[in-house]
């Protein structure tokens, strides 16, 4: 049974203006505050949402669903706020945190966006639960589902994300979404110790595009918010994966396997929403796009 305590809240707003790392988006959308997955490298642990949490509980021991999330989004949609919005859902929680199975807040928000489509929507998750909503997602014109797959090694995954779904399930999730006609992205973020050739081969088959990030570029603080995870890498004997530039060799392997047009890097890669409006990028036409 989950030890996470649930603190429902009435939120004042559901769309938050972006800045900083997610500058390619106009808003983030977080149906939940807090997250049940408890990844050891989660940079949100070091942010005010955790440091100032009123429950005084460790990260992932609490979650606060915004019970009026759908209503708030409906109101925003009626005021035309979605028409020009480029939305990242979510940056400090997972929209398919296990509680979503029963609360359906993300699902409700997707239904609103089906009737009032934003200019672009990225759904960022690590949960196969997202496939439950594939029919709703497929109704939104400029959408991509981005699934976090930071390694191909299940033992590494268990060290850093003990409460998260298996890697095999995530690969299967991308395949199901793609078969449903939904654009897919694999977020290799943060890159963890892996066999990059094998991971690139696995993702080539199921992701239209891949974004690779590392602990130094991706935490928005030059690695300072990732200090605990970097220490964990060293304690586990992954010294060479704990230094700046450790992702460079993997990036080259991915580019050579998928083609540069299908591989985004860190901040620039996450903020490139232009490809959403160009139609799916398939393996067979990637070489044409590169030229
Ligand atoms: S799923 Fe995302 S928000 Fe949740 S703990 Fe993991 S990294 Fe943090």
Position with higher pLDDT, 278 vs 168: 168
147 lines ligand 1 (CB under 6 A): no
Query: Residue 112 — pLDDT band, cuts 50, 70, 90?
Result: very high
Q: Above 90 in pLDDT, residue 29?
A: yes
Residue 103 in contact with ligand 1 by CB distance below 6 A: no
What number does the ligand 1 atom closest to the CA of 35 have?
A: 4
Query: Which domains does the chain show, CATH number per domain?
Result: 8-277 (3.80.30.30)
Q: Is 43 in the pocket of ligand 1 (CB under 6 A)?
A: no
63 DSSP β-pair partners: 6, 34
Q: How far apart are alpha carbons 88 and 85 in whole angstroms?
A: 10
pTM of the model: 0.94
Residue 10 DSSP label: -
d(CA 238, ligand 1 centre) in Å? 22
Say yes or no: CB of residue 63 within 6 Å of ligand 1. Answer: no
Measure the CA–CA gap between 23 and 83, rounded to whole angstroms: 18
Mean pLDDT of the chain: 92
Range scoring the smallest mean pLDDT among 52-66, 143-157, 206-220, 244-258? 206-220
Residue 29's alpha-carbon distances to 32, 94, 230, 273, in angstroms, are 9, 10, 29, 16
CA 144 to CA 147: how far, in whole Å? 10
Percent of the chain with pLDDT over 90: 86
């Amino acid at each position: 049974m989950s030890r996470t305590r649930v603190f429902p809240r009435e939120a004042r707003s559901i769309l938050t203006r972006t800045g900083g790392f997610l500058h390619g988006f106009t808003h983030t959308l977080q149906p939940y505050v807090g997250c049940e997955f408890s990844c050891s490298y989660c940079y949100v642990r070091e942010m005010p949402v955790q440091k100032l949490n009123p429950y005084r509980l460790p990260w992932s021991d609490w979650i606060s669903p915004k019970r009026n999330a759908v209503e708030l989004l409906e109101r925003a949609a009626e005021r035309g706020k979605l028409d020009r919005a480029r939305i990242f859902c979510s940056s400090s929680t997972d929209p398919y945190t296990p509680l979503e199975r029963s609360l359906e807040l993300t699902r409700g928000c997707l239904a609103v966006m089906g009737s009032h489509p934003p200019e672009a929507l990225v759904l960022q998750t690590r949960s196969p639960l997202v496939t439950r909503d594939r029919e709703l997602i497929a109704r939104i014109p400029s959408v991509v589902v981005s699934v976090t797959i930071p390694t191909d090694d299940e033992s590494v995954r268990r060290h850093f994300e003990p409460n998260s779904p298996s890697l095999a399930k995530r690969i299967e999730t991308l395949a199901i979404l793609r078969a449903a006609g939904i654009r897919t992205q694999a977020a290799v973020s943060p890159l963890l110790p892996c066999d990059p050739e094998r991971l690139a081969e696995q993702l080539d088959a199921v992701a239209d595009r891949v974004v690779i990030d590392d602990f130094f570029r991706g935490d928005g603080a030059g690695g300072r918010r990732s200090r605990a995870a970097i220490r964990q890498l060293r304690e586990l004997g992954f010294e060479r994966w704990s230094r700046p530039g450790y992702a460079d060799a993997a990036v080259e392997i991915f580019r050579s396997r998928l083609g540069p047009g299908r591989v985004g890097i860190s901040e620039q890669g996450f903020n490139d929403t232009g490809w959403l409006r160009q139609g799916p990028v398939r393996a067979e036409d990637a070489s044409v796009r590169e030229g």
